[in-house]
């Protein structure tokens, strides 16, 4: 049995001072002894992730962070990492020890969270042992401008109430657009073209393929999965043609030739771009490719640190295609995993991976950083479709986005 | 990106005395600092698993075990767990500290490994710091009756040579029968019927489904994936019928009715039974169901400790069906995970899960224990097909096994 992909979980981050009891709170919420808990302040250094099912929200990911009041050089580094967690946070819990109460750190954190438009809950911990009078509660709630829940991670007091508050505060739109389900009617057939890539481990399919099959089935559609060489014979063998063909971006040209003109064609990468972020921003970014000149700086951002093949798409193939396109060398920078620069001003273009390992919030954040600084951003699949001249066709299932490339009104 | 399933990895277990350097050896082989290493003897208590790619063998799983010379009550328990690891070991490494050399423990371990017909390599560690003369090597090789490789996990000496020896010693047949690939010709179509079960987490497919799709694609076949309700319309929409229909066992009856009589039909569970073990033993076990009487003892063995649904197949459905069949109550025992009793004499029947989380060696071991004690053993899929009267049809793709149920010669 496999688990829900990390990127499709609601990300709930716990913030608070050292020793406020963030790790214990996660243990109390998950009913497991996973996080390292001790009475020494500052036990959690790097953010720690814990997946669980929280009904009726579904799959969630708790993120345990270092204390917002950490000190010294290392402490400052840890606080910085804690703040980076906000880039992927769908819902924030601020854990407060009543003995220290609401001070400058809590007020500053709440302000940053509010600025990012992330829902916030204040969680008073240690209510069972605290001798501090809890009369400040109303004042604290006003100061932080968020609901306050009184709990004890150790005794379990208030934990069920906290779960209910989490469920109510969870943003409705955190799941984003469906991957593929809304493009299909019950009984429709979708053909998925899946080149067996050397990069896919034995016995597995890559994540976007599994997610697309599952989403199609959940919407009562039928999936045909085949390698690119079989596509023509698959379509020839059907009495009614498929509604949609989805291909790996790297086979776009061949698949486009083998797909009848009246059948929709798109790519896993374009589906993922819509599911995880904002397809129109990425499609608009594709147009900036034509403005690139030799010597321009280009940022390539990968969401994970995967094992690299000799002809890696982000490190080798895309740079080669772009150099050919602009007729000269470009100045490429690569970042991977959680790293994403806040100052993008030196780049003429950002090229992002399919982000199968990132959550929607993280991708939306990156898109917003690029938009604010007016830097065009595109992803692998959109870029490849554009370079091959088939982006308008690949966007036909999404008329609003497709209208960017035509003079017609959607 | 997802990893190769654990059950499909070559399992390489490291045995040896406490502080012989088994954990360091795994770190040296994998190039990672994963196992907990210390200079205090007896750091590894429960077996520790570490997955890696070892070319050209492919995906392997190293298993780090407790010292075979562990002492005291807890030590004895740890040694027992270490010996249980043999049930899933495809290849054994015996790590030896030259300072202690080959003694009774090493000789006993080698004898057990030989009896299980598991390939064995002796690995001399600490060759860089040992002041012990290595002149006993030839004698040690004779005593243990296996190849000897001299290494140092710390300096890296001999590690490449050890990898080569592992590749050479790996048994050819550890992968077992293909899952589905050999039933399909290039260009053939297979229809996979996948009920979306409440047990499958959001965004995922269960492992045997993913493995079957991948194996079919690797063999240039075409997969159609659909829910049971769509099967008839899928077949109606094909100009040439599919070669094979594979269904989840729980939908056998409906799928059998909707599959044309001249099309092969089988289940994921039957495919997995063949891939991971010995389909003929399991099919023969099905016949014993008709000999069950009220009050008989039945063992239900599950390979994993999955989250149980209200109508769990192994805990609820199968017991209910069997009680109905025998017209009275039965005495059920359940075991799960790595547990499997060595004395099966009280059971009239063993019912095993699909074993998607077990490796082939582990399943073959369990089948051999049952066979030696003359206890019939069946798995979920074979049992369900038998109860529904469609086992002979479901075995038609495997003529040798099917002949168990007919008087015809295969």
Contacting residues of A for B202, CB less than 8 Å apart: 4, 8, 58-59, 214
Reduced to 3 states (helix: H, G, I; strand: E, B; else coil), residue A348 is coil
pLDDT at A167 over 80: yes
SS3 state of residue B241: coil
Whether pLDDT at B408 is above 50: no
Considering chain B, what percentage of its residues have pLDDT values greater than 70? 90
For residue B202, give the nearest of A1, A58, A225 by CB distance.
Answer: A58
**Alpha helices of A116-206 — where are they, by DSSP H?**
137-144, 159-169
Q: Which of A275, A251, A285, A282 is nearest to A265 (CA)?
A: A251
Q: Hey, what domains does chain A have and what are their CATH numbers?
A: 6-169 (3.40.50.300), 181-270 (3.40.50.11420), 280-405 (3.40.50.11410)
Q: B220: Cβ–Cβ under 8 A, 6 or more apart, which residues?
A: A227, A229, A230, B186, B187
Asked if pLDDT for residue A398 goes beyond 90, the answer is: yes
- Residues, chain A, total? 410
CB-nearest to A217 from B201, B227, B304 is B227
Judging by beta carbons within 10 Å of its beta carbon (0-12, 13-18, 19+), is residue A180 exposed, middle or buried?
buried
Please provide the average confidence, as pLDDT, over all residues in chain B. 86
Give dist(CA A101, CA A98) in Å, integer.
5
Q: pLDDT band for A239, please (50, 70, 90 cuts).
A: very high
**CB contact residues (below 8 A), chain B span 211-240, against chain A:** 211, 213-215, 217-218, 220, 222-227, 229-230, 233-234, 236-240
Is the CB of residue A74 less than 8 Å from the CB of residue A38? no
Q: Which residue's entry shows tokens 């002809």?
A: A311
Q: Is the pLDDT of residue B409 over 50?
A: no
Specify the pLDDT at position A36. 47
Q: Residue A199 has what pLDDT?
A: 56
Q: Does B129 contact chain A (CB < 8 Å)?
A: no
B342 exposure class (CB count in 10 Å sphere: 0-12, 13-18, 19+): exposed
The confidence band for B1, taking pLDDT boundaries of 50, 70 and 90, is very low
Task: Let me know if A66 is exposed, middle or buried by CB neighbors in 10 A (0-12, 13-18, 19+).
Answer: buried
Of A59, A205, A234, the CB nearest to B214: A205
Instruction: Count how many Cα atoms sit within 13 Å of the Cα of residue A59 in the half-sphere of its side chain.
Output: 17
Round to whole Å and give the CA distance between A391 and A396. Answer: 9
Which sign does the torsion angle of CA B38, B44, B49, B52 carry? Answer: positive
DSSP H helices, A1-56, are 22-30
- Do A25 and A14 form a contact (C-beta atoms < 8 A)? yes
Establish if B1 touches chain A: CB-CB under 8 angstroms.
yes
Biggest alpha carbon distance in chain B?
76
Residues with Cβ < 8 Å from A135, sequence gap 6 or more?
none
What average pLDDT does this structure show over A368-379?
92
pLDDT at site B78 = 78
A351-365 tens-digit pLDDT: 998 877 788 888 888
Please state the rounded mean pLDDT for residues B244-265. 93
- A197 pLDDT above the threshold of 70: no
| Stretch B186-198: mean pLDDT | 87
Residue B410 pLDDT level (bands cut at 50, 70, 90): very low
For the record, the structure tokens of B183 come out as 């039933």
User: Is some CB atom of chain B closer than 8 A to the CB atom of A206?
Assistant: yes
Provide the pLDDT confidence category of residue A88 given band limits of 50, 70 and 90: confident
pLDDT band (50, 70, 90) for residue B41 = low
What distance in Å separates the CA atoms of residue B342 and residue B301, rounded to the nearest whole number?
Answer: 13
CA distances from B204 to A1, A3, A221 (A): 9, 7, 16
Q: Does B355 touch chain A (CB under 8 A)?
A: no
Return the structure tokens found at A257. Answer: 């030739």
The owner of tokens 């854990």 is A95
- Top-confidence range, A139-148, A237-246, A333-342: A237-246
Residue B410 is inside which H or E element, if any?
none
SS3 (DSSP) at A321: helix
From A17-31, A35-49, B49-63, B168-182, the region with the lowest mean pLDDT = A35-49
Average pLDDT of every residue of chain A: 86
Residue A41 pLDDT exceeds 60 = no
Residue of B nearest to A58 (CA): B202
Interaxial angle between packed helices B279-287 and B380-387, expressed in degrees from 0 to 180 and rounded to the nearest 10: 40
Q: A21 near A156, Cβ under 8 Å?
A: no
Residue A315 DSSP class: I
Q: Would you say residue B21 has pLDDT above 70?
A: yes
CA distances from B37 to B32, B48, B61, B82 (A): 12, 12, 18, 18
SS3 A254: helix
Who among A58, A226, A240 is closest to B222 (CB)?
Answer: A226
d(CA B174, CA A131): 63
Query: Tokens 């069906």 label which residue?
Result: B321
Number of other residues whose CB lies within 10 A of the CB of residue A104: 8
- Residue B84 pLDDT grade (very low, low, confident, very high; cuts 50, 70, 90): confident
Residue pair B258/B241 in contact (Cβ under 8 Å)? The answer is no
Query: Does the pLDDT value for residue B202 go beyond 80?
Result: no
Mean pLDDT of B251-268: 94
Residue pLDDT, tens place only, A114-162: 988 899 999 999 888 776 665 678 888 889 999 999 999 888 889 989 9
Is A189 in contact with B3 (Cβ distance < 8 A)?
no
Chain A residue with minimum CA distance to B186: A230
Residue in chain B closest to A215 (alpha carbons) equals B203
Inter-chain contact B210–A207, Cβ cutoff 8 Å?
no
| Proportion of chain B above pLDDT 90, given as a percent | 47
Q: For residues A255 and A118, what is the distance between their CA atoms, to the nearest angstrom?
A: 41
Q: Is A51 on the interface with B (CB under 8 A)?
A: no
Q: What is the mean pLDDT of residues B366-382?
A: 92
Residues of B in contact with A213 (CB under 8 A): 205, 213, 225
A336-346 in b/e form (b: 16+ CB < 10 A) is bebebeeebee
Give the residue on A whose Cα is nearest the Cα of B3.
Answer: A201
List Cα–Cα distances, A233 to A59, A64, A225, B187, B245, in angstroms: 39, 51, 12, 8, 19
Mean pLDDT of B123-130: 85
Q: Which of A5, A59, A237 sits opposite B238 (nearest CB)?
A: A237
Collapse the DSSP code of B329 into the 3-class scheme (helix H, G, I; strand E, B; otherwise coil) and give the result: coil
Rounded to whole angstroms, how far apart are CA atoms A337 and A344? 17
pLDDT category at A1 given cuts 50, 70, 90 is very low
Partner-chain contact B222 A224, CB within 8 Å? yes
């Amino acid at each position: 049995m496999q688990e829900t992909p990390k990127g499709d979980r609601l990300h709930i981050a716990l913030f608070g001072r050292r020793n406020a009891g963030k790790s214990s709170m996660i243990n109390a919420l998950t009913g497991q002894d996973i996080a390292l808990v001790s009475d020494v302040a500052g036990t959690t250094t790097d953010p720690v992730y814990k997946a669980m099912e929280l009904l009726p929200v579904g799959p969630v990911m708790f993120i345990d962070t270092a204390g917002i009041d950490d000190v010294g050089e290392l402490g400052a580094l840890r606080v910085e990492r804690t703040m980076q967690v906000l880039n992927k946070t769908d819902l924030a819990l601020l854990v407060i020890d009543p003995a220290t109460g609401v001070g400058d750190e809590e007020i500053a954190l709440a302000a940053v969270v509010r600025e990012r438009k992330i829902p916030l809950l204040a969680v008073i911990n240690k209510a069972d042992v605290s001798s501090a009078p809890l009369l400040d509660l109303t004042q604290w709630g006003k100061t932080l401008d968020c609901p306050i829940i009184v709990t004890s991670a150790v005794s379990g007091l208030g934990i069920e109430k906290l779960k209910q508050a989490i469920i109510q505060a969870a943003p409705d739109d955190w799941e984003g657009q469906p991957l593929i389900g809304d493009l299909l009617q019950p009984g429709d057939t979708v053909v998925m073209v899946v080149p067996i890539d050397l990069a896919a481990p034995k016995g597995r399919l890559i994540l976007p393929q599994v997610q697309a099959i599952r989403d199609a089935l959940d919407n009562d559609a039928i999936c045909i999965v085949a390698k690119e060489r079989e596509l023509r014979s698959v379509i020839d063998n059907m009495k009614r043609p498929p509604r949609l063909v989805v291909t790996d971006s790297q086979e776009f040209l061949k698949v486009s030739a083998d797909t009848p003109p009246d059948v929709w064609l798109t790519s896993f990468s374009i589906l993922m771009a819509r599911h995880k972020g904002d397809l129109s921003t990425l499609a608009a970014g594709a147009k900036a490719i034509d403005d690139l000149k030799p010597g321009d700086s280009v940022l390539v951002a990968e969401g994970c640190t995967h094992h690299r093949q000799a002809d890696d798409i982000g490190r080798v193939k895309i740079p080669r295609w772009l150099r050919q396109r602009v007729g000269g060398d470009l100045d490429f920078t690569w970042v991977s995993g959680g790293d994403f620069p806040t100052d993008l001003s030196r780049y003429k273009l950002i090229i992002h991976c399919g982000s199968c390992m990132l959550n929607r919030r993280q991708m939306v954040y990156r898109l917003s950083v690029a938009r604010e600084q007016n830097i065009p951003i595109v992803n692998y699949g959109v870029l490849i479709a554009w370079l091959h001249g088939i982006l308008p066709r690949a966007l036909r299932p999404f008329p609003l986005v497709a209208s960017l490339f035509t003079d017609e009104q959607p």
